[in-house]
Amino acid sequence: MNLSGLAGLYCHFLGLSHSWMAEGGIAGWLIPSEFMDVNYGRVIKRYLLEKVTLLKIHRFDPDDVQFADALVSSAVVWFRKSAPPENHSVTFTFGGSLLEPRLRRDIPVEELAREKKWTRFPQASSSEAEKTRLVIADFFHIRRGIATGDNAFFILDRLEIKAGKLPIELFRPILPSPRYLAGNEIEADPDGYPLLDRQLFLLDTKLPEKTIEQSYPALFDYLEQGKTNGVHEGYLCRNRYPWYSQENRPSAPIVCTYLGRRNTKSGRPFRFILNNSTATITNVYLALYPKPPLETALSNHPSLLRSVWEILNQITPEQLLGEGRVYGGGLHKLEPNELANVDASPIAELIPGFRSQPPPEQLALF
C-alpha cells in the first residue's frame, strides 16, 4: 500500500500484518474509525475490499469513549485473508456492544467501493444513489478562515488599538470565536463593523517596515515588540512576506462553524451565520462565497440571501454529520470539502433557470 504521510501507525501495522497471516486466517483489529472517512484511508479501504474478505465492521458510538486516555472514535474491523467472493456483502454495526449493537446492516461490496465515507453505514444508504441532488459546492466556494500565526498579537480590540495609538486604518474587523456569538446573524453599523459587545480587529497590511516606521511609528514599535517576543519566527510568519501580512480573505455573506458537539442546547453541532458586516474570519470558521449563478441572482435580488441562509439552517444535523467526521467524546468536524458535499438542492428553487444551466465553472475565487 502506498500510504500517505498523514496515515496513523495503525495503518502501517495493518498492512505489515498481512504477510504474517495464514491463508484463510482471520484478523480482528480495534482501531480508530477515522480511516473510514479521511483521504489517507482510501488505500486501507481498497485493501479491505480487494486483497482480503472484509467480514464486519462495528463502530462504537463516538459519545461512548472506549479509552479514558484517548479521545478517538473506535471501530472493530474483521477480515479473512482470502480473495473476496462474488456478490459479497459486509456487515456494518453501530453502537452498543459487539454482540448487541444498536444498528446492523449488510452492505454490498460494490456499494462500499463507490462510497467515500463508510461512517454513513449502517444508518444511511450510499450517497451515490443521490447523484441528482445539488450540493453546497454547486452554489458556493468554500474557504477556510485566516490562520494569523498568533491571534493574541494580530487581533486586538478597539481599546487596545487606541491605547497603543495604532492606526485603525491598517486593521480590519474580524469576528470573534463562535462561543462569543449569541445568535446566528451579525448586524453591522454604518461603517460595516459588526455590532458586537467587543469589536475585534485584525492587523492587515502589506506595507514595508520602512514605510511603517516613517508613517506609523507606534505600529512600528508594536511590530518590534512582536519580534522581541519571537512572533515573526513562528511557522506561518516566517513563511510570508512581510511577516505580519495576512491571507486575502474578504468578508463572506455566510460563514459556518466547523467544529462542534451535538449535545448543545440547539442540538446542532454546526452553525450557519449570516454576516451582514465587513468582518473577515479566523480559521475556526468556513467562509461561503456565492458562485456566479447565485451571485448574479443575489445582485438582482439581495433579499434572497436571507432565504438562502434560512435553507442552510434547515439542513438537518444528520445530513451535516453524515458528511463530516467525529472524534471520541462526540467532537464533530466538517472540512471544506465535506461541507461542500452537503445536500442544498432547495437553493436551486430560488435561482430562475438554475437546473437548466450547465454546471457552474470551477473558477478560482481569488
Return the H-helix or E-strand segment holding 203. strand 200-203
- For the stretch 221-234, pLDDT in tens is 999 999 999 999 99
Closest CA to 148 of 277, 235, 272: 235
On the question of pLDDT at 337 being above 50, the answer is yes
pLDDT tens-digit map of 114-152: 888 898 888 765 444 454 578 999 999 999 999 999 999
The count of C-alpha atoms lying within 13 angstroms of the C-alpha of 242, restricted to the half-sphere facing its C-beta, is 15
For domain 9-129, give the fold. Answer: Rossmann fold (3.40.50)
Q: Are 61 and 95 in contact (CB under 8 A)?
A: yes
Residue 69 confidence class, pLDDT cut points 50, 70, 90: low
| Number of other CB atoms surrounding residue 69 within 10 Å | 5
Q: Where are the domains of the chain?
A: 9-129, 140-204+246-356
The answer to whether the predicted template modeling score (pTM) of the entire model surpasses 0.75 is no
Tell me how long the chain is: 366
Q: DSSP assignment of 66-123, as one string?
A: S-TT----EEEEEEESSPPPTT-EEEEEESS-SSS-SEEEEEEHHHHHH-S-GGGTTT
252 pLDDT higher than 70: yes
Question: Residue 352 and residue 337: Cα distance in Å, rounded?
Answer: 26
C-alpha cell of residue 32? 480508530
pLDDT score of 244: 96
Mean pLDDT, the chain, integer: 88
pLDDT at 211 over 50: yes
Q: What angle do CA 196, 199, 200 make, to 5 degrees?
A: 140
pLDDT digits (tens, 9 = 90+) for 254-269: 999 988 776 566 667 8
pLDDT at 162: 95
